[in-house]
Each structure stands twice: as structure tokens, then as C-alpha cells.
Amino acid sequence: MQVLSVSIHVKPEHVEAFIPAMLENARGSRTEPGNLRYDLLRDADDPNHFLLYEVYRDVEALEAHRTTPHFLKWVAAVEPWLAVPRTRVRAQPLFYEGAEV
């Protein structure tokens, strides 16, 4: 299993366009065969800060995600809207869905 946490800071003037683009990518990601979870979160203290929590079956599923049409469309659209480059943390789960892995 592969877990990816992504932190995204959007320029304030682009937040309203970012949200529907992000939702389209999230919905597409959830249809991928190797995707087990895809959550979009908005920071309660900073409305321009978003977090993604993604879980994939394996490394191959995560890599396949990065080649999908919805992901490539999303990257092309949102990169100019970012206040800073997005940051990612790849992790291995130790406790997932109520069970130790």
C-alpha cells in the first residue's frame, strides 16, 4: 500500500477555479482500479490551503495515477494558480482502516 499526502497552497484569486478542477481530478482518481482512497481537505484556518490524502494499492497504481488524463489535465490547469510548489509526503501505513498493517 502507498499513501501520499499533498499540501497545496493556492493564490487567493484562483481558489474559486481551483476547487472544481480539484474535485474533477478527485472524482477521476477514485475511479482508478488501484486507488483505495482519495480525500480532499480544506484547511479550517487558511481557506487557500488544501490537503490531499491518497491511498493506492501499490507503487504501480500510484505511478499509473500520474499518467491518467484527469491528473495531467489537473496539473496543467492548477500549476499556475499555486502560491508555492505543492509538497508531497509518501508514506507506508502502519495502522489503516482500524487494523495494523
Please give the pLDDT value at position 23. 97
Please give the pLDDT value at position 92. 86
Give dist(CA 81, CA 84) in Å, integer: 9
Phi/psi for 60 (5° steps) reads -60, -40
Give the three cell numbers for residue 96: 489503516
- Output the average pLDDT for the chain: 94
What is the rounded average pLDDT of the residues 82-92?
Answer: 95
Q: Are the C-beta atoms of 27 and 68 separated by less than 8 Å?
A: no
- Asked whether residue 100 carries a pLDDT value surpassing 80, the answer given is no
- Asked whether residue 56 carries a pLDDT value surpassing 90, the answer given is yes
- Asked whether residue 99 carries a pLDDT value surpassing 60, the answer given is no
- Asked whether residue 93 carries a pLDDT value surpassing 90, the answer given is no
Domain ranges of the chain: 2-93
Residue bearing the bigger pLDDT, 23 or 93: 23
The distance between the two most distant Cα atoms of the chain, rounded to a whole number of Å, is 42
Fold of 2-93: Alpha-Beta Plaits (3.30.70)
Q: Do β-strands 35-42 and 2-9 pair in parallel, antiparallel, or remain unpaired?
A: unpaired
